[in-house]
Amino acid sequence: MHPLIKLVIQRLALGLLTLFVVSLVIFISIELLPGDVAQQVLGQSATPETLAAFRQKLGLDLPMHTRYLNWLGAILQGDLGTSLISGASITELLSERLYNTFFLAGFAALISVPLAVCLGVITALYRGTPLDRAINIVSLTAISVPEFFVAYILVFIFSVELAWFPSITNLSHDAGLGERLHRTFLPALTLTLIVTAHMMRMTRASLINLLALPYIEMARLKGASPARTIVRHALPNAIAPIVTVIAINLAYLIVGVVIVEVVFVYPGLGQLLVDSVSKRDFTVVQAACLIFSATYILFNLASDLISIASNPRLMHRK
């Protein structure tokens, strides 16, 4: 069997194991959190009597391991279950939000990844020049501002002052692609500003790290232009760290956008997850976390595969 295929199969199997451990970690964490669903839903109006009735209704009076095994049994049969609080089907609850989350992440990634790599190459090429410094200062400033603040500034400029884009997304079910892009532009721009600098800086650093190596010197001595040297000779060898940092940022775009969702009232998974954690709605938290974990594991696998494929030494190791 080709070593790469073997690796993929091995990693997918390990991925399933990871998902299992994640579900266990999440389950235990939620058990350790103060309060349970009953207390969180009833809030200040909780009395011992009402709590007992509530717990019995939801089966929370069963022992911990029984509840976990029941949930695991269902999930192995492909049943994500129902929300503890509303009793609504989790598949239904998640599907639209999942789509929204991927839509926004995809939108932001389409802008930010090409932009970051290009800027990284340009700054490595013109390192030390005013252009390099200007790009670095702008991107570093963007990255050093808290994301909600970036969002507020963009809202101030593009919604309040210019009135070009709406300040909250407020999507209706039947919105067309054009309207969707218009309404999600500001959140996507916010995310772009947040992730671009990180990817760009890593691209630049990895490239510069290679420029003094003998084979690059060789290419230069052979008379290759600086741009050609970087794009044709340095970039392929810098792929591993660049792809790793891109994978981290893509995963972040899907998993970590809670605050941007809150500020733009964007109905994605992150907000649902925070809601569900604070209500201790364990089944919903589990489902959302498993989706996030699976996403991360796949991105991670893909970035490792690309790294290996790009490095012959790793590809053909003894």
Partner 1 sequence: MHAALHEIRKIPPTALFGMLVITLYIIVAVFAPILAPYGESEIVAYEFEPWSSEYWLGTDSLGRDMATRMIYGARNTIGIALITTLLAFFIGCVAAFLSATLQGWVDQVISRAVDVVISIPTLIFALLLLTILGTSVYSLIGVIALIYSTFVFRIARAVAMGIVVMDYVEAARIRGEGLWWVMSREILPNAAPPLVAEFGLRFCFVFLTISGLSFLGLGIQPPAADWGSMVRENASLITFGDLTPLIPASAIGLLTVAVNFIVDWMLHKASGLKD
Partner 2 sequence: MTLKLLNGSIGRRGFLAGSAAAVGLAHMPLPLRAQAQKGGTFRLSVNQGGTTDTLNPAEANGSQQIMVGWALRNNLTEIGSDNALHPELATSWSSDDAATWIFQLRQGVTFHNGKSLSPEDVIASLNLHRGEDSTSGAKSLLAGVTDISAEGDSAVRITLDAPNADFPFILSDYHFQIMPVGADGLLDMSGVGTGGYTLADWNPGIKTVLQRNPDYWKENAAHFDTVEVLLISDSAAATTALVTGEIDAVQSAEYRTLSQLGRDENIAIESISGGFHPTFAMQSGVEPFNNRDVRLALKYGVDREALVDRVLRGHGTVANDHPIAPTMPYFDPSIEQRAYDPDRAKYHLTQAGLDNLSVSLSVSDSLFAGAVDAVTLYREHAAPAGIDVQVAREPGDGYWSDVWMKKPFFTGSWGARPVPDMIFATAYAQNADWNESQFNHDQFQQLMIAARSELDEAKRGQMYSDMQVILRDEGGSVIPFFRNFVYARRTGVAHSENVASNWSLDGYKAIERWWAV
Contact residues for partner 1 (CB under 8 A)? Answer: 14-15, 17-18, 21-22, 25-26, 29-30, 32-34, 127-128, 133, 136-137, 140-141, 143-149, 152-153, 155-156, 160, 197-198, 201-202, 204-206, 208-209, 211-212, 240-241, 244-245, 248, 251, 255-256, 258-259, 262, 270, 273-274, 277, 289, 292-293, 295-297, 300, 307, 311, 313-314, 317
Residue with smaller CB distance to partner 1, 56 or 225 = 225
Q: Phi first, then psi: what are they for 56, rounded to 5°?
A: -65, -40
Tokens standing for residue 231: 């794009």
Whole-number Å distance between alpha carbons of 174 and 171? 8
Q: Sign (positive/negative) of CA torsion 192, 197, 198, 204?
A: positive
Q: Report what 240 binds from partner 2, partner 1, none; CB cut-off 5-8 Å by kind.
A: partner 1
Give the closest residue to 93 by CA, choosing from 280, 252, 287, 265: 287
Residue with smaller CB distance to partner 2, 87 or 176 = 87
Residue with smaller CB distance to partner 1, 40 or 89 = 40
Shortest distance (Å) from residue 198 CB to partner 2: 25
Q: Which amino acid is at 295?
A: T
Shortest distance (Å) from residue 140 CB to partner 1: 5
Q: Report what 183 binds from partner 1, partner 2, none; CB cut-off 5-8 Å by kind.
A: none
Tokens standing for residue 42: 């009833």
Whole-number Å distance between alpha carbons of 192 and 109? 7
Please say whether the beta carbons of 24 and 57 come within 8 A: no
